[in-house]
Amino acid sequence: MTKRLFLAISFFMLIMCGCNLDKSDSLDYLNLSYFQKMSDPRFVIDGEKVHKRLLKLCVERSVHSAKDSALYHYYAKEGSSLWLTSYGDWTRIEQLLYWLENSRVHGLNPEKFSVSKIKANFRKLRSLEIKKTDNINKLLAELEYDLSAAYLRYVCGMSYGFVSPGRVLNNIDEAELKPGEVRDSLAPPKMKIYYSIPLKRYNRKFVNNALDAVKGDLNTFMMTVQPKDPFYLRLQKEYVRLAAQKSNSFKEIPDIGKLVLKEGDVNEVLPLIAERLMNLGYLTRIEHAESIYSSLSSDLLNAVNEFRRSNNMPVNNTIGSYTIGMLNRPLSYYKNILAVNMERVRWQKRMSKGSKYVEVNIANFTLKAVDERVDSLLEMKVCCGTYENKTPLLASKIVYMQMNPYWNVPQSIIRKEIIPSFLADPAYFEKHQMKVYDTEGNEVNPLSVKWTSYENEVIPFSVKQEKGEGNSLGRLIFRFPNAFAVYLHDTPSRWAFMKENRALSHGCVRLEKPLDFAFFLLKKKDEKVMDKIRIAIDVPPKTKQGKELLELPEYKPMKAFSFPEAVPLFLDYYTIVMSKDGKLNYCDDIYKFDRPLLKELRKI
């Protein structure tokens, strides 16, 4: 009974005190007409009804998350309002609305937090403009709940991300159904696991701390949940810069067909190209640009090439239709890709990097190995899985490496590639140093197998490629626990690293510099161990001790090496990368992951 009375008095005082805060919406002082107005049934406050309605909203709108549970238990136990204070102080609400509306700078839509609805109900409350079909109790409960739900959604999302990447990306094949197409109910599900990086999630303790912060210094707490990663801040800065521009400032540049513009050429598209480059930040904005850039100057060409470098395009001294097509990407393209990558940075990986770690960015085909203890950085190109054979995104630890590994060919590759190749060339197995074995491990002549009879059945044979030169895994393979049978390894196909698009493998990651990578993974740079690794893969040793090993008839080359310290490895996917000097480079979305993530991020 005491709680009910307290709630009734609290909310009544809220209305009485609050009405003086906005002179445009309410009375400057209380008079008889005000009290007469308050006798209207629409404004009769029943604390118990407000409380019950609030708890009902917590249940009805729950998705059974930690924040839903914590919110319900707070109102069930405490009963008091977080936002609608008894003395009519609107400061908390105004502070929260500032942060929610400012979510635009994070690539978010404020309506994700019901801002318009909150402001409309807030306005109704302050002006007492309530329809006859409505009542003050329902309005108070709705406003209180919406403020709390928006607040928790914001602080949890800013701290841990708004999108669950596993839930989105691991259903990506199902999402590729065409409009109107129905998946055959008898067909096996197409879902594949593409995202397998364990992430931290908000928990009950975090939510309770957030609720406690409302009654303390709200602004200070909101500052603590803002992302502070340097990469995030750079993405955000660029997003804000582009968001300040109007869409019509990106005027379409006419296609020039087969025409190729060279330095010194004059053409009507050049001022438009210059304008686009100024909008994108590759060219300094100047007055009279239209006349200055009427011809293709060296400055303009340099800016075009800077744009190309930032967009994974080859640099050259001419401008053609392809470059103009890339320049014609709309403003929304850049804002969307920046928003998606800000969301990626908000995700917190459960496994810590530590001071020594390895990161592979699949979208950029690069590996970065960092050892902060000795200020060491190793970078190299990599080849990743094709669109059809996507390299899974995962977190693990590199445990050991093998020298001159055999390749046990997966059944899927035997069926899709090796059998068709063998049928076209009976010498295929011999040429590629491959052997066939039955289920008991006995070697079988591939010519004696009726491969076509297993088109729709399990193939009762295994295929193994001999170790050494020509082996698809190369001379070194780096193994780490994972559920996908993917690894980092050497490759005999060195030509692949000359290509811009290096999505070429069956899912494993091929390394440009496997020997350097092996040395990086060592706990300490032991020259003798390094020489043993060299000798194992037929690279001449560099030390006197190493050369002496070669002279020993009893010396057996190293076959494997376990790392005393397992090194954290992250196979991840960012379609924007930041260079050492802070420049942003855009990558092709080779796996088409951005669109489904953006769609989920844009959900209201």
**Distances in whole angstroms, Cα of residue 283 to Cα of each of 273, 299, 340:** 10, 8, 26
Residues forming beta bridges with residue 509, ordered by sequence position: 488
Strands 393-403 and 476-479: antiparallel
E strand or H helix at 119, and its extent? helix 115-127
Structure tokens at 170: 């691991």
Q: Is 489 a catalytic residue?
A: yes
Whether 91 and 214 have beta carbons less than 8 Å apart is answered as no
| Catalytic one of 156, 384, 508, 587 | 508
Whether 562 and 544 have beta carbons less than 8 Å apart is answered as no
Per DSSP, the three-state class of 79 is: coil
Q: What is the CA radius of gyration of the chain?
A: 32
Cα gap 537→531, rounded to integer Å: 10
Residue in this structure with the two tokens 């020997």, named with its chain if needed:
515
Cα gap 196→200, rounded to integer Å: 13
| 602 phi-psi bin (left φ>0, alpha ψ -120 to 50, beta other) | alpha
Strands 195-196 and 393-403: parallel
| Catalytic one of 51, 106, 432, 489 | 489
Residues forming beta bridges with residue 393, ordered by sequence position: 195
Structure tokens at 203: 């928990």
Closest CA to 521 of 439, 601, 391, 401: 401
Beta strands in 418-475 (DSSP E): 434-438, 443-444, 461-465
Cα gap 305→331, rounded to integer Å: 20
Q: Is 508 a catalytic residue?
A: yes
Residue in this structure with the two tokens 């908390």, named with its chain if needed:
92
Per DSSP, the three-state class of 204 is: helix
Return the active site residues. Answer: 489, 508
